[in-house]
Structure 1
Amino acid sequence: MKVIILMADRCSSTSVAASMEFLETANVIHQYLLKSQPVNTKDAAPLFELETASMTGKSITSTGGLILTPQSSVTNITPSGTDLETRLAAHTPRLIIVPGFMFNILNELPKLEPMCNWLKEQHDKGDYIANICTGAFVSAQAGLLEHKRATTHWLFSEQFQRAFPNTKLQTERTVTDDGLVLCSGGSTSSADLLIHLIRKFGSPQLAAECAKKLLVSSGDRSQAPYSSTTFKKQHQDPDILKIQIWMEKRLHTSISMEGLVTEFDLSMRNFIRRFKEATDQTPIQYLQNLRLEKAKHLLESSQEAFEQITYRVGLQDANTFRKLFKQRVGLTPGAYRKQFGWGKAQ
């Protein structure tokens, strides 16, 4: 299968390098598996025929200043097999990998318009498009994710949802596969996507062998344990901002919605409406997220028992809060501390 690994200025060099190394590893192991069969098998063509490309064929400067030189431009990609006419006649699909872009991805999109247009053309011809991390923004800008399932780095999920409301964003997923378009979550979850591609276009056995050799997981993971809730305060409602600060300072106490509206002399309906408009969360969601983020911080930074942490976030029932934590974070409190804890035991 022909694989085109795109690169552009300010893309993640890790996206490009990981794609090359994972798929080349798959080629090597594929040959080994063929030779290990009872019937003597000669060397076959590589499973993945890799080629790097930029829009113009010129070198690009990736995030961090690393200069990458592609093998070709997108208009001069080496045809897979005999010639381009044969490929088009047979409708042989290719795989195009879109790298992630760090930080201000929305600011980069206007500069990536030629890439967006080219991706749309290749998608319409039947090529697969695999997006790493914020590469999903590029495919969404190209119109390839309308009413389709997608994921991206959890840190950019709110930006993505505002920019592309018709995409079915599943931020908790590390990999989505919807028709011809695939996406991965944040950063190193590119490994999850690449193993998925090896399984999809190779075999489950090949994917498992590659995962073992590369020391990565071959199963379905969640981004939930890695994500943090953002609490929007850059809005134009000073009364709601006062309430947000009040909630944070009194998180260790029992907070009720009735008590809040009484404290700030608001009607319940007006309070809920204004709070949602200002923060993009209901008051109950906001309070719940505050408690979860505080609990996560205490699990990371201390050796306090979860029962004590429960009291410190204004709750009394540790069992109920433990269930909520597992449901929302995807790990038990103990497993979360084991994975992310940095506080030393006293």
Structure 2
Amino acid sequence: MQSLWVMSSIAMPLEMLEAIRALFRLRASTRQQATFVAEAVHYSATGEQPHALGGLALEVQRSIFDITDTDVIIIPALWRQPDKYLADAQPLLDWLLARYQQGATIVAIGSGVWLPAKTRVLDGLPATTHWHSLAAFKAMFPKVKWQHDHLLTQAGRIFCAASINSGADLIIHLIGLYYGRELALQVEQQFSPGVRNPFEKRVFQADSAMQHADEPIALAQSWLHQHMNELLNLTHLASLADLGVRQFSRRFVAITGETPVLSDASHFGRVFQRWAAVTPGTYRNQVRRKIFVLSPTSQ
């Protein structure tokens, strides 16, 4: 059965990496070079070229088995359940496991998480996938700690994204790790800055236990991370910690060094700049509104 890959989960990472190359070319005076080769390679038990959803054909030059050393492997999403297409994928799984043991970082998007899960390197570790595949993957891989409330997970050198947009967040994060936050922010702003939140604030990490032993405050922090786009209710947060509002506020500040809510504009500005690396005013000028609606008074 011919596999159907989701084109955007392949194209977006390649385009973001190419943007890095373009930024280096613009900085020719610094003589910096983008020290990477990004290419699409494929696996096929029958020798067929891969195809993408919508009837698009993917023309790739090399087999995946031509790659014996690599730093990052990005696994795109397959349409529907991968086990239908990859029943005879043991050579591919062996190759993936060998590259991981060699030190490669794995980035799996959507149903592409099936591949590292199938190699068993995710056993006992957190992972996420597209909601359509989640129930089936839970049944197939019961030892994986599936995170249904998170769109991003990290377990050492294995990153999982539940959706294509979340996969873009992972690529931005990796660009920051390899080439610095400044270049990562430039690429991010080029590829839809109004959508993304910082990777570190959204990911579930295997080693992300709060760096303190105050369990009630850690519980409140976890709730904040999972509901960061909702209106904050201090009374509700205090109830989660089984504390009074004043006691909770004092304890939260003492433990984390931050207030549980943004109580004033100056505090918001400081926090925003720490997250986005620009002031709210600069960000507002850089990002256009998503839609313009003609109001009745302006007609």
* Short-chain TM bin: 0.5 to 0.7
Which sections of structure 1, spanning at least 5 residues, go unmatched?
1-7, 78-83, 88-92, 224-324, 334-338, 340-346
Other-structure match for 1:11: 5
Q: Deviations over 1:147-180 (max 9, x none)?
A: 1221111232222222111112223223222122
Other-structure match for 1:73: 63
Structure 1 113/65 Cα, relative in aligned 2: closer, same or farther at 3 Å? farther
| Corresponding residue to 1:188 among 155, 162, 165 | 165
Contact 1:211–1:218 under 8 Å retained in 2: no
Say if 2:105 is the partner of 1:128. Answer: yes
Deviation, 1:51, is: 1.6
Output the CA distance in 1 between the equivalents of 2:156 and 2:177: 12
AA aligned opposite 1:104: Q
Output the CA distance in 1 between the equivalents of 2:225 and 2:179: 34
Q: Deviations over 1:66-100 (max 9, x none)?
A: 110112112224xxxxxx7xx7xxxxx51111111
CA RMSD across the alignment: 3.0
Other-structure match for 1:156: 133
Structure 1 206/157 Cα, relative in aligned 2: closer, same or farther at 3 Å? same
Q: How does 1:54-93 map to 2 (within 5 A)?
A: 54-55=42-43, 58-77=48-67
Deviation, 1:22, is: 1.0
Output the CA distance in 2 between the equivalents of 1:122 and 1:97: 12
Contact 2:80–2:111 under 8 Å retained in 1: no
Other-structure match for 2:118: 141
Other-structure match for 1:219: 198
Say if 2:39 is the partner of 1:51. Answer: yes
Structure 1 121/326 Cα, relative in aligned 2: closer, same or farther at 3 Å? closer
Contact 2:3–2:85 under 8 Å retained in 1: no
Which sections of structure 2, spanning at least 5 residues, go unmatched?
204-222, 232-289, 291-299
TM-score by length of 2: 0.61
Contact 2:123–2:143 under 8 Å retained in 1: yes
Output the CA distance in 2 between the equivalents of 1:199 and 1:328: 23
Other-structure match for 2:30: 41
AA aligned opposite 1:185: A
Q: Deviations over 1:36-80 (max 9, x none)?
A: xxxx522x3324311211125752112222110112112224xxx
**Number of residue pairs the alignment of both structures matches:** 208
Q: How does 1:1-346 map to 2 (within 5 A)?
A: 9-32=3-26, 34-35=27-28, 40-42=29-31, 44-55=32-43, 58-77=48-67, 94-216=71-193, 217-220=196-199, 331-332=229-230
Percent identical pairs in the alignment equals 25
Contact 1:112–1:138 under 8 Å retained in 2: no
Contact 1:58–1:69 under 8 Å retained in 2: no
> Helix, strand or coil: the match of 1:121?
helix
Structure 1 30/151 Cα, relative in aligned 2: closer, same or farther at 3 Å? farther
> Helix, strand or coil: the match of 2:30?
coil
TM-score by length of 1: 0.53
